Amino acid sequence: MLSLAQFCKPMRALLLAGVAALAISACASNRGSMPSPDYSGMPAAQSQQSLAELTARYKSNPKDKMVAIHYAAALRVAGQSQQAVAVLEISMTLHPKDVDINVAYAKALTADGRFEQSLQVLDNVIRPEAPDWNALLVKGAALDQLGRNGEARALYAQALVHAPGEASIEANLGLSYAMTNELPAAEQHLRRAVQMRGATSQIRQNLALVVGLQGRFDECRAIYAAELPPEQVESNMAYVRALLTQQNRWDMIAKS
């Protein structure tokens, strides 16, 4: 049987994905740094094409802040977290006080597993009197990775005060509870998230996973089916059942 820490690995990965891919269409307005560009929901061919285009744009003008941020986001989705960190380290030397660059750099560090370093960067960005919600979100994700879930949830709650209705914040709250095996609470927050602006396909799939882990397979399949092609739905359902089998959770579900 897997340990709880091993069971939580999928949740940790999803949380990192959420950090790397807030909705590109969300409105930043005057509530803090820009939302992260989202390349996670693209088909593989489109994602590869976007990365190729951004690589060319970055090479032609590495000083362009927005190109660097988008390039790093695309690299993270491609699994190139170390390269994303390297790109943003250069941007940090060019724009050392830029909040968007600092937050993007912290996201890249978090995706690369460098949680303590990410926290240091964020602590230099977050102003106690006017905290940036996006920075709070990333700091919460880093703390969740370190097992400091209570501190993370306090930051998510604070972020919601500054950016009410942001799907990414509620989604991270849900995944935080999933990491500690509090699945009903996780589901509650993810259901809120899917009703909010900026809700992505990944958030809806995260909800499907949490529903499935509670043994409600028909509902889980229906949520996946609305988001994915049939073969991927079946693959995801097999994954959910494998997680349950490995954790020996069937008896718990039968008694609930």
Q: pTM score, two decimals?
A: 0.81
Residue 228 DSSP code: S
Chunk the chain into consecutive blocks of 10 residues (it has 256) and report each block's average pLDDT, rounded to whole numbers: 41 50 31 61 77 94 94 91 96 93 94 94 91 92 94 96 93 93 96 92 92 96 94 92 74 42
Q: Would you state the pLDDT for residue 253? A: 44
Domains of the chain, earliest start first? 4-255 (1.25.40.10)
Whole-Å CA distances, 223 to 7, 161, 208, 215, 239: 22, 29, 6, 14, 15
Residue 147 DSSP code: T
In 3D, which of 19, 40, 39 has the Cα closest to residue 172? 19
Q: Would you state the pLDDT for residue 102? A: 95
Q: Would you state the pLDDT for residue 32? A: 53
Question: Residue 103 class from Cβ within 10 Å (0-12 exposed, 13-18 middle, 19+ buried)?
Answer: buried
Q: Would you state the pLDDT for residue 35? A: 57
Q: Would you state the pLDDT for residue 11? A: 56
